[in-house]
Amino acid sequence: MSNATDQDHDFLTRVLALAQRSRDEGHHPFAAMVVAADGTVIAEAMNASSSDRTAHAEMNALRLASQRHGPEQLATATLYANAEPCAMCAGGTYWSGVGRVVYAMSEASLLALTGSDPENPTLSLPCREVFARGQRPTEVIGPLREDEARLAHAGFWKK
């Protein structure tokens, strides 16, 4: 996408590495970061849904960011994720007030990898559709770098 910046690509590189680390540590291969407009990392998190099904990486990062920073800073922040935020995570992004989302792999591409694995029962609802129902705009950039994003998932899911 043409509106992705060099900074967006730098943070996607970091979040893709964090997703691989999540997998290496025995969790689902997902990661997210919340980054302030000035490039300061506010929060980063990996997936912990094996113990709490709502503990997706995005939700974990958004909770940390919301505890540490007010609405003014979050409104200009960006959520980076290695996969498109699911409906729950898009809702969490909206309610946290984060104004921008950049992701690497689409939900449709993720579904092609996970198939019917019960560990990832896909909600086929693009984040853009969730955000379109809100009263304030949320900018969305993605998918970007899907081939790279698939690497952390290779061989992980039971189709």
End-to-end CA separation in angstroms for the chain: 30
Return d(Cα 71, Cα 115) in angstroms, integer: 37
User: Among all residues, which ones are annotated catalytic?
Assistant: 58
**What contacts 105, CB < 8 A, 6 or more positions away?**
82, 83, 84, 142, 143, 145, 146, 149, 150
Tokens 């990996």 -> residue: 46
